[in-house]
Amino acid sequence: MTTMTPTDLLAATSVRVLRGAPSPEELAAFTAVLTLRLTPAPDPAPARPATAAWSRPDRTRPYTSPRAWHT
């Protein structure tokens, strides 16, 4: 991954207003959007291990009826 120099960053973010006269608030909002778009994304969180698709038969009751014997 290459790091951008300030000159490269300035060249990549140069913007020209072609029509209209934006207010200072509009320019500030536009600058905030550009800043957010240019910041690198954070590293993704490590994925949780998947839950096992199998079950433990020794931990389950073989028959669950209200009238069955339970040991």
Q: Look at the pTM and tell me if it is higher than 0.75.
A: no
pLDDT band at 45 (very low <50, low <70, confident <90, very high): confident
CA distances from 13 to 5, 39, 49, 64, 68 (A): 12, 12, 40, 67, 74
Q: pLDDT tier at 25 (50, 70, 90 boundaries)?
A: very high
Q: What is the pLDDT of residue 29?
A: 92
Per-residue pLDDT tens over the stretch 2-13: 777 878 877 776
